[in-house]
Structure 1
Amino acid sequence: MVSYFITSTGTDIGKTYVTAGILRAARRGRKAASAIKPLLTGFSLDNATHSDSAVLLAAMGKAVSRQNIETISPWRFSAPLSPDMAAAREGRRVDFALLTRFCQVAINAAPGTLLIEGVGGVAVPLDESRLVSDWISALRIPAILVAGTYLGTISHTINAVDFLAFRGITVAAVVLSESETPAASLEETAATLRRFIKPPIHMIPRGHNEQPFQDLAGSLLDLTYAGPS
């Protein structure tokens, strides 16, 4: 079974939005797909039902409960900072070996495609010496890079793709998630990026159109039949 690591060019670009969209498309197509978000910062129990983990659970058709959030997001920190900083504020640290082991167990146990949603961008620090890219490398799975259409995204996306390639990470796809205040259209942004990067580019417009997610899921997911829904 194939698994993917969902990462991005930065924070608040659309990782959860894209991951949830793929999961919904998988459910509609009765395909086996699930997701985890092992590291979560900016988390509050008072607002847990609106967390990224809650969005993923809802997209999988699972109850948004404290137990389920803890199951898919074992490392939760209050401060909306990079994991190393958020953990330090609580007198804690991210155990990289435990983190990668948790993900590997989930990959091995998944009945179909597993989506592992990261935190922040590709070079966000996890601890004193490791970045998100080290996390992806340790898992030896391809990445899906989520980018926006804001001013500056061309440079950020090219840099992220090159950085991942330098780290030996395969980028299975670049997903352009239309920004709230786009500097250019999805089509213009994609056309420019295609001149400089090799991974296939998928475009996700803002709004409630699920077809782009259906197309994206169809190109990425293991087409294992999950049985009647």
Structure 2
Amino acid sequence: MAIKYFITSTGTGIGKTYVTTALIRLARSKNMSVAAYKPVISGFDKQEIAGSDTGEILAALGEAPTEENVARVSPWRFAAPLAPNMAARAEGKTLDCDAILSLSLSALQENADLVLIEGVGGVMVPLDDKKTVLDWIVAAGAPVVLVVGDYLGTISHTLTAVEALRARGVKIAALVVSESGEATVSFDDTLAEIARWTAPLRVLGLRRDAGGDALAPLLA
């Protein structure tokens, strides 16, 4: 039976793609087949595909950053590093949330051992004038991996995101505390405090440059 996750976060730059690519590589090391998508991306520079989130996902999948592969993994790409609704507006466009959901539902039916959909920004980031990433998560129906940071203030942001997800009946498969390398608080202390406040949710700590082994419980 396929393992399916929607990977979201408390905000931008927390580590969603780091977690996505770590899971992909870990799964492939176990000879699992993987399908992964980041349908919406803002701040996308078509001259620097390899360094983008989409490029990193393709690299983890072992696929070249061709125009066709980029369009498959991230059909909605915007240049401005803004919330999706604002980035689309800057290009005179609007996001088609129905199309995003349709793609997501199709992806979740793929014949792969692991299927990942990575969101954009944080849980409450607007997609258009009415819908947020949370609406997308609810409609997609896949369990969530919530990626949170280890910075000062992350506990409040984490608990707010957890409450928002729970209020909409979303199943949270795990919280992943992603190490930034710039925190002023001990990573282990932050990990323990988040685990205490969110119990009985599963909380995993992912240190930078430590590989994805800490995420192994998500593939069990």
TM-score range relative to shorter protein: over 0.9
Structure 1 residue 63, shift from structure 2 partner: 1.1
SS at match of 2:131: coil
Establish whether residue 205 from structure 1 lines up as the match of residue 204 from structure 2: no
Establish whether residue 100 from structure 1 lines up as the match of residue 101 from structure 2: yes
Letter in 2 for 1:143: V
Q: Distance in 1 between matches of 2:194 and 2:151?
A: 13
Deviations 1:45-97 (A, max 9, x none): 11122110000010011112121011110000111101101111111111111
Letter in 2 for 1:47: E
Cross-structure match for 1:155: 156
Unaligned runs of 5+ in 1: 224-229
Q: Distance in 2 between matches of 1:18 and 1:71?
A: 20
SS at match of 2:204: strand
Letter in 2 for 1:214: D
Q: Distance in 2 between matches of 1:202 and 1:110?
A: 27
The 4+ residue runs of structure 1 with deviation greater than 2 A are none
Letter in 2 for 1:128: D
Q: TM-score, normalised by structure 1?
A: 0.92
Cross-structure match for 2:22: 21
Q: Distance in 1 between matches of 2:34 and 2:69?
A: 16
Deviations 1:133-175 (A, max 9, x none): 0000001111100011111111111111111101111111000
Cross-structure match for 1:140: 141
SS at match of 2:175: strand
Establish whether residue 220 from structure 1 lines up as the match of residue 218 from structure 2: yes
Letter in 1 for 2:92: G
Aligned residues: 218
Letter in 2 for 1:42: G
Deviations 1:171-223 (A, max 9, x none): 1100011113112222111211122113111011122x22xx1241x3122x6
Q: TM-score, normalised by structure 2?
A: 0.95
Q: Distance in 2 between matches of 1:44 and 1:135?
A: 25
Q: Distance in 2 between matches of 1:181 and 1:121?
A: 20
Letter in 1 for 2:203: I
Unaligned runs of 5+ in 2: none
Structure 1 residue 34, shift from structure 2 partner: 2.3
